Amino acid sequence: MNFEGQFVLVTGGSRGIGRSIVEAFANAGATVGFVYNSNSAAADAVVKELTDKGKKVSAYQCDVADKVAVDALVEKLVGEWGRLDVLVNNAGIIKDGLLATMTFEDWNAVIATNLTSVFNFCQAVTRPMMSQRYGRIVNMSSVAAEFANAGQANYAASKGGIQGFTRCMATELARRNITVNAVAPGFIETDMTAAVRNAAEDEIKKRIPARRLGKPEDIANATLFLAAKESGYVTGQVLKVDGGLTLGGI
């Protein structure tokens, strides 16, 4: 898939799945801007590694839950680039805990970062994409949206909300040649899943028909497929990338 001449914005791009997505788009020829929250060292490392290879990558600090900041960033990038072809909403956090003891702060933090940020960025890019009559939006959901795990009420709610939001946006924007899809990863080898993997990796693998955990590159490849020009007739879909984990439920 060739993204030469295209401009891509990725949220949560400094590590894990997000970093892999940034690398994949950059290696495919795109100009990539990615958003990070607070880890400037990690963001700088990504930029340096890729620019040293001749790729076109920039990092931008932004609180994805802050609508004013998001609007300003998107306006800045569209002004500099002249257009915005692809948005990938990848920013996300977990703050697991049983509902009986979950604090409102933990509930609100996960909803704000995982779900409200998707609204913020999608609304910000809608006008420029409608004006250019082209766009690809990919939102990062999770298999946890459909298959319950105890202690993840906030996370599951945020990811389920993303799926419903994705379908609604797809119906609104399809006639402007803008597709909106979601990727739902299963168990992926990232910092976010380290605690679960350390406790039960062997048992998890037994439940996955592919008999392995996913890698960030698996999610990046699926994201590029949905973001490609050639995928223009695919919209409103949730693509599970889980090695078959959910075929029989989890």
**Cα–Cα distances in angstroms (integers) from residue 53 to residues 22, 57, 219, in the given order:** 14, 10, 22
Number of H helices, E strands in the chain: 8, 7
User: Is 36 marked active-site?
Assistant: no
Helix axes 153-173, 117-132, angle to 10 degrees: 10
Given 36, 134, 155, 233, which residue is catalytic?
155
Of 227, 117, 116, the C-alpha closest to 180 is 227
One DSSP character per residue, 27-82 reads: HTT-EEEEEESS-HHHHHHHHHHHHTTT-EEEEEE--TT-HHHHHHHHHHHHHHHS
Burial class (CB in 10 A: 0-12, 13-18, 19+), 133: exposed
Asked if residue 245 lies in contact with residue 209, where contact means CB atoms within 8 angstroms, the answer is: yes
Q: Considering just the CA atoms, what is the radius of gyration of the chain in Å?
A: 17
* Active site residues per annotation: 155
